[in-house]
Amino acid sequence: MDRWEWKPATVGEALQAAVSFFTQSEIPSPRLEAEVLLAYGLGVSRAGLLAMLRDQLTDAQQARLGELIQRRLTGCPLQYITGRQEFWGLDFAVTPAVLIPRPETELLVETALALLGRQDRTAWIADVGVGSGAIAVAMARERPRLQVLATDLSEAALAVARQNAKRHGVAGQIRFARGDLLDPAIDAAIRLKAVLSNPPYIPSGHIPSLQREVAGFEPKLALDGGEDGLDLYRRLAFKAGLVLEPGGFVALEIGYNQGEAVSSLFAAQGFRDIGLIRDGQGHDRVVTAVWPGG
């Protein structure tokens, strides 16, 4: 933006200006983002915002909206500014310490629920690299008899996940533990019915070429899967075999081109019935594998 002129008199003028700034910076859904951001800045819903387009802005409101818009124009994702993202129909708190939950990850939750069936007995599952808690909270809500062991290396991420578990009434079903992958399960000798994870899977060298919203703002810890992107799957395939019950399974999100490689890694560790599930765009997105045990 060479000239930043920000003197909107009304809510409607502010909205128009925001849409035009976002369009010029090639933000993908400029109108939607402008509405969400201005509604947030004025403390109203989107419907509320659209009902007040003729209202005059106070100087303080004008300044606040200008700051929010400039922050978004630096590339900061909308969700880190508003502090929220919807997942599985639930409103999750997010901070820059956690990956913003993606709609594709709902496929992982659906897949895990289908494999578990009704699950009316008590059992443990793990969510490895819990981040915001999206997967753990969705699973706990859907299957009230499940106990979820939620691990992460990041204490800041665990704090966000705890907050989301409380917000959605499932704090009593989730045990949070700081640690590498499944180490907290191994240390506490917890046998798991399932291991779920959306681990970091981007090859290190590709991170700089991701969208600036992702590369510049989301946590590297949640993205960087090592040189070929597969480090975490290699280590998980080994550790999952130590803690899964016979007949237990893993369900993991993967990058769009990692289906074959991740399947082979789990097959090589003795897993059976490897499954690959495609997302709405036709890309491999979830791998499942069953631990025979013994």
User: Does 152 carry a binding-site annotation?
Assistant: yes
> Would you say 58 or 281 has its CB closer to ligand GLN?
281
Q: Name the residue with tokens 């819990």.
A: 130
Query: Within 10 Å of residue 180's Cβ, how many Cβ atoms?
Result: 15
Binding mask 190-229 for ligand GLN (x = CB under 6 A): --------xxxxx-------x---x--------x------
> Would you say 102 or 166 has its CB closer to ligand GLN?
102
Query: Within 10 Å of residue 148's Cβ, how many Cβ atoms?
Result: 25
> Would you say 18 or 99 has its CB closer to ligand GLN?
99
Provide, rounded to whole angstroms, the least separation between the CB of residue 210 and ligand GLN: 6
> Would you say 14 or 126 has its CB closer to ligand GLN?
126
CA 31 – CA 269 distance, rounded (Å): 49
Provide, rounded to whole angstroms, the least separation between the CB of residue 102 and ligand GLN: 5
> Would you say 143 or 285 has its CB closer to ligand GLN?
285
Provide, rounded to whole angstroms, the least separation between the CB of residue 92 and ligand GLN: 16
Provide, rounded to whole angstroms, the least separation between the CB of residue 217 and ligand GLN: 11
User: Does 219 carry a binding-site annotation?
Assistant: no
User: Does 199 carry a binding-site annotation?
Assistant: yes
Q: Decide: is 230 part of the binding site for ligand GLN (CB under 6 A).
A: no
Cβ–Cβ < 8 Å for 36, 82: yes
Distances from the Cα of 105 to the Cαs of 54, 111, 260, 276, in angstroms? 40, 10, 19, 14
Q: Identify the CA nearest to 243 among candidates 128, 111, 154.
A: 128
CA 151 – CA 197 distance, rounded (Å): 10
User: Does 129 carry a binding-site annotation?
Assistant: yes
Q: How many residues bind ligand GLN (CB under 6 A)?
A: 10
State the sign of the Cα–Cα–Cα–Cα dihedral 87, 91, 94, 98: negative
The three-state secondary structure class of 148 is strand
- The two tokens of residue 53 are 């387009």
CA 27 – CA 99 distance, rounded (Å): 19
Q: Decide: is 102 part of the binding site for ligand GLN (CB under 6 A).
A: yes
> Would you say 199 or 241 has its CB closer to ligand GLN?
199
Q: Name the residue with tokens 């500014």.
A: 81
Provide, rounded to whole angstroms, the least separation between the CB of residue 197 and ligand GLN: 9
User: Does 200 carry a binding-site annotation?
Assistant: yes
Contacts to ligand GLN by CB under 6 A: 99, 102, 198-202, 210, 214, 223
